Amino acid sequence: MGFLSEKPPFPCNRPVFCCILANTLLSTVPGVSGAGPSPEKTLLTPILDAELIATGAITSYPIKPNTPTGCPTPATITRAMMTLCNIPPLFINAGLRHTPTVPCYDVYGCAGEDPRFRDALPQVKDLYHRGEAIGTLLSQYSDLLVIGECVPGGTTTALCVLRALGYSASVSSSFADNPVSIKEDICSAALLRISSDGIKDPLDIVRYTGDPMMPVALGMIKSYTGNLILAGGTQMLAVAALSRALNFRMPYVVTTCYVRNDSTANVQHLAEQIRVRISYVDPEFGNIGHPGLARYCIGEVKEGFGAGGAMCLAHLLGHSPEEIRNLILSTVNAYS
């Protein structure tokens, strides 16, 4: 395939790129998330990533939001693309444990609770309605909205939601070695609560076992009037599946080829089940000349902070794969 497996079929005159930041306490369960140097510090990753993208450096904490093996955070890719396109990204705080260090559009949510033991999002309706308000606001400003996400632990909440909706889903991971059995155990416990309470309504499923990104994204999808791209892998497929269950207009999904190639997940088959259009970006990191980026090809990190959608947006705005790859490499080299 070329740089894009399929070109999204809409114009791109006044794009907005946003990224929804959220925490789920599941990311602090040892082994669930590779998005940070330790389980507890995964809670900081959305904040550090946003700071890196907004300012070009992380100065507020003496840590980097890289994987334990030092693989660069996908936020460096998104940073490079925002610089290339001269687009300042909009960060949306859907519910974080700590206070961000850069301005965010804030819906005043909380970190999602552990769905094994209690409702993950008691305030799901408020988050949904506040997401609607953001979608209405952004409709005024733009004709294309790209929504990324940064939710450590979010593939596990995605798994729970997809299974609760009845899909035979497997989800991806930022670990090269996907911790499938930990995720399956969490999912079983969450699904038991859902089935024993007879929960069927999509937003109720999110309340039981989702993360704060989901209802905010759903509200935005509901109210936004332009074209929509969900930039992410299995987490955004969970949002697409919820859109389908709610009879919303279906968004378009863009992610990286590294998510599609994850043999522990079934992204292509899942997209077909959901009946959502999906395109894959292949930035050919294997030969880009950076060992950390090359590890994306063997299954580490793969995607995050809307990196796939950001590369796609840069391409839609007329930048060549060569320009895109060169700026990613120089950005990662300057940062790591």
Question: Which stretches of the chain bind a copy of itself, using CB under 8 A?
Answer: 14, 16, 54, 87-88, 90, 93, 99-108, 130, 133-134, 136-137, 140-142
Q: Which is nearer to a copy of itself, 90 or 297 (CB)?
A: 90
Q: Which is nearer to a copy of itself, 133 or 294 (CB)?
A: 133
- Cβ atoms < 10 Å from Cβ of 182: 15
Q: Which residues pair with 19 in a beta bridge?
A: 91, 148
What is the rounded distance in angstroms from the CA atom of residue 268 to the CA atom of residue 151? 22
| CA-to-CA dists, residue 281 to 136, 215, 237, 313, angstroms | 29, 26, 16, 10
Paired tokens of 140: 């005024």
Quote the least distance from Cβ 49 to a copy of itself, whole Å.
Answer: 16
Quote the least distance from Cβ 261 to a copy of itself, whole Å.
Answer: 34
Q: Which is nearer to a copy of itself, 14 or 118 (CB)?
A: 14
Q: Which is nearer to a copy of itself, 19 or 205 (CB)?
A: 19
What is the rounded distance in angstroms from the CA atom of residue 211 to the CA atom of residue 216? 10
| CA-to-CA dists, residue 89 to 44, 305, 313, 330, angstroms | 19, 11, 12, 20
Q: Which is nearer to a copy of itself, 140 or 196 (CB)?
A: 140
Quote the least distance from Cβ 105 to a copy of itself, whole Å.
Answer: 5
Quote the least distance from Cβ 71 to a copy of itself, whole Å.
Answer: 28
| CA-to-CA dists, residue 183 to 23, 29, 156, 243, 308, angstroms | 16, 10, 6, 23, 24
Quote the least distance from Cβ 93 to a copy of itself, whole Å.
Answer: 7
Quote the least distance from Cβ 225 to a copy of itself, whole Å.
Answer: 12
What is the rounded distance in angstroms from the CA atom of residue 2 to the CA atom of residue 6? 9
* ∠ CA 55-86-82, rounded to 5°: 60
Q: Which is nearer to a copy of itself, 14 or 275 (CB)?
A: 14
- Cβ atoms < 10 Å from Cβ of 244: 17
